[in-house]
Amino acid sequence: MTSKTGTTHAHAERAKVEADPNRVIVFDTTLRDGEQSPGCSMNLEEKLSVATQLEAMGVDVIEAGFPIASNGDFEAVREIAKTVKTATVAGLSRASRKDIDRAWEALKPAASPRIHTFISTSPLHMKHKLQMEPEDVVQAIADSVGHARNLCDNVEWSPEDATRTDHDFLCRVVETAIRAGAGTINIADTVGYTIPGEFADLIALLRNRVPNIDEAILSVHCHNDLGLAVANSLAAVQAGARQVECTVNGIGERAGNCAMEEVVMALRTRQDSMPYGTGVDSTQITRASRLVSGITGFAVQPNKAIVGANAFAHESGIHQDGMLKNAQTYEIMTPESVGLTKSNLVMGKHSGRHAFKTKLKELGIDLSDNQLMDVFGRFKDLADHKKDVYDEDILALVDDAAVRHNDHVQFVSLGVRCGSHGPQSAELALTVEGESRHATAQGNGPVDALFAAIRAIVPHEAKLQLYQVHAVTGGTDAQAQVTVRLEENGKTVNGQGADYDTLVASARAYVNALNKLLVKRERSAPDALDRSAPAAE
């Protein structure tokens, strides 16, 4: 970047861009524009922890607030200015000496301070909002930027609503601001109106038509009203902008700002067509995202690029199989590169055997092929009924399959009639030594009816000592894990069963206990139990 007039403005960011013309300055405005999201206010301590994280991850400029806005904002900017050592700290001000003085008072303690001043330049804003004539706006720019520059070496100026500003006027005001001392010119797409090709053309136009443009770093500040903030920012970088203004998780006024994590990772991932770099340590991205989301209470949508819970999660069997063979089949960046430990194979109805086997291995479970077939079948059935299948669900299924292995009596199916219009009844099918048996019974509630049906198929005198249900996970679709304790002649056995249907889990648990009782009986008196008892139909 060579100056056409020889009056370049020296500051830390200028030095970085001069050392490497492809270096993109990351200007984070989470604490200023991000905080302008309705409901997003942060207290001093929270702002300090965000600023510390932004500094640690290598952000070049931290916009800490708008000091004239309130005493709280002033204090926050001043504390951040005192705390941050390696990043430049910026404070926003309108085109007013009072605002600028207040900003400077807060920023003065910073190792590297920047005054950021702005004024609207679009006809709409000038006429209706500022109620100023264009000539007065030009004068206000020269005066405010000049005043700021008398206080601070590092001054940024923004034409608010630049993308709806007349091009000739924009060229004129940019030239004026640079002449008055602005070292960074920030082209604001305040209402997220522009589109990538048009925005790239605007940056190119400014570079071609503003005579002193090389004396300043061209910056962009994009809003996301059309979901184009990141695309517009990248188009601008390709057209010559070297500062991108952004926020963590894309928070900000209305639909938000350009998301820092997306810009950083897009530049990092697509070096082949965008050979530009930032100073951000991308492995800190997840940490920053969680910090900001935790502090603001703004949850990150699961499918959000880079930092959403599903960004590195794979549920479909074909994708999971590909991932296990070579992660690049379905991931264009590694989870480690954004600070996650590994990809997440989400177990759900689209999962296949490869992924299921891998999940079992992760859980330390080793099953025979037959057991695997059985558990996988039940897992698919569970996934059809339950939105999220957690590790706990799989463990419950495996335990359930393990206890049923080689059972004499096996559960087949159950239908119940329950509710307030009794009588409650259960229609049960079991196999006993491989033979199908059916029974229908009534009871005092569906559980009582179910247990009566079991007694009808396998007559026994054992007493029910305990019937206990607990949910394996949270949510109304959680699997039920049931424990049944039976007692016969002083001997007790516990049976377990798990299912998304509490009554099926109850049947499985009772049948499991019964099988254990059979084994105990067999050991003490073979053939004591009449397993060929007829069905009570």
Ligand X SMILES: CC(=O)SCCNC(=O)CCNC(=O)[C@H](O)C(C)(C)COP(=O)(O)OP(=O)(O)OC[C@H]1O[C@@H](n2cnc3c(N)ncnc32)[C@H](O)[C@@H]1OP(=O)(O)O
Distances (CA, A) of 427 to 297, 461, 510, 512: 49, 21, 15, 18
User: Choosing among ligand X, ligand KIV, none, which partner's interface includes residue 95 (Cβ < 5 to 8 Å by kind)?
Assistant: ligand X
Residue the block writes with tokens 């200015």: 81
User: Choosing among ligand X, ligand KIV, none, which partner's interface includes residue 221 (Cβ < 5 to 8 Å by kind)?
Assistant: ligand KIV
User: Choosing among ligand KIV, ligand X, none, which partner's interface includes residue 186 (Cβ < 5 to 8 Å by kind)?
Assistant: ligand KIV
User: Choosing among ligand KIV, ligand X, none, which partner's interface includes residue 280 (Cβ < 5 to 8 Å by kind)?
Assistant: none
Nearer to ligand X, 130 or 418 (CB): 130
CA atoms of 215 and 198, how far apart (whole Å): 24
**Which residues ranging from 215 to 244 are in contact with ligand KIV (CB under 6 A)?**
221, 223
CA atoms of 8 and 183, how far apart (whole Å): 7
Rounded to the nearest 5°, which phi and psi values hold at 333? -145, 160
CB of 145 to ligand X, least distance (A): 12
Q: Residue ranges of the alpha helices (H) in 210-258?
A: 229-238
Nearer to ligand X, 160 or 315 (CB): 160
**Sites of contact with ligand X (CB under 6 A):** 33, 36, 66, 68-69, 94-96, 118-119, 129-130, 160, 190, 253
Q: Does 160 bind ligand KIV (CB under 6 A)?
A: yes
User: Choosing among ligand KIV, ligand X, none, which partner's interface includes residue 473 (Cβ < 5 to 8 Å by kind)?
Assistant: none
CB of 93 to ligand KIV, least distance (A): 10
CB of 143 to ligand X, least distance (A): 11
CB of 264 to ligand X, least distance (A): 22
Beta-sheet strand order (sheet of 480-488): 463-471, 480-488, 491-499
User: Choosing among ligand X, ligand KIV, none, which partner's interface includes residue 157 (Cβ < 5 to 8 Å by kind)?
Assistant: none
Q: Does 118 bind ligand KIV (CB under 6 A)?
A: yes
C-beta separation of 115 from 103 below 8 A = yes
CB atoms within 10 A of CB 464: 15
User: Choosing among ligand KIV, ligand X, none, which partner's interface includes residue 356 (Cβ < 5 to 8 Å by kind)?
Assistant: none
Long-range pairs, 315-319, Cβ under 8 A, ≥24:
315/345, 315/346, 315/347, 315/348, 315/350, 315/351, 316/350, 316/351, 317/350, 317/351, 317/352, 317/353, 317/354, 317/355, 318/352
**Which residues ranging from 61 to 100 are in contact with ligand KIV (CB under 6 A)?**
92
Q: Does 33 bind ligand KIV (CB under 6 A)?
A: yes
CB of 130 to ligand X, least distance (A): 5
CB of 374 to ligand KIV, least distance (A): 59
CB of 97 to ligand X, least distance (A): 10
CB of 61 to ligand KIV, least distance (A): 13
CA-only gyration radius of the chain, Å:
34
CA atoms of 153 and 175, how far apart (whole Å): 18
User: Exposure of 29 by Cβ count < 10 A (0-12 exposed, 13-18 middle, 19+ buried)?
Assistant: buried
Nearer to ligand KIV, 230 or 517 (CB): 230
CA atoms of 188 and 167, how far apart (whole Å): 14
Nearer to ligand KIV, 112 or 158 (CB): 158
Nearer to ligand X, 32 or 521 (CB): 32
Q: Which one among 8, 53, 88, 158 touches ligand KIV, defined by CB under 6 A?
A: 158
Q: Cβ contacts of residue 270 below 8 Å, gap of 6+?
A: none
Distances (CA, A) of 217 to 27, 158, 203, 237, 317: 12, 12, 12, 11, 48
Nearer to ligand KIV, 147 or 221 (CB): 221
Rounded to the nearest 5°, which phi and psi values hold at 173? -70, -35
Helix (H) or strand (E) holding 273: none
**Which residues ranging from 173 to 212 are in contact with ligand KIV (CB under 6 A)?**
186, 188, 190
User: Choosing among ligand KIV, ligand X, none, which partner's interface includes residue 213 (Cβ < 5 to 8 Å by kind)?
Assistant: none
Please name the amino acid found at residue 406.
Answer: N
User: Exposure of 58 by Cβ count < 10 A (0-12 exposed, 13-18 middle, 19+ buried)?
Assistant: middle
User: Choosing among ligand X, ligand KIV, none, which partner's interface includes residue 119 (Cβ < 5 to 8 Å by kind)?
Assistant: ligand X
CB of 179 to ligand KIV, least distance (A): 20
CB of 13 to ligand KIV, least distance (A): 16
Point out which residues bind ligand KIV (CB under 6 A): 33, 92, 118, 158, 160, 186, 188, 190, 221, 223
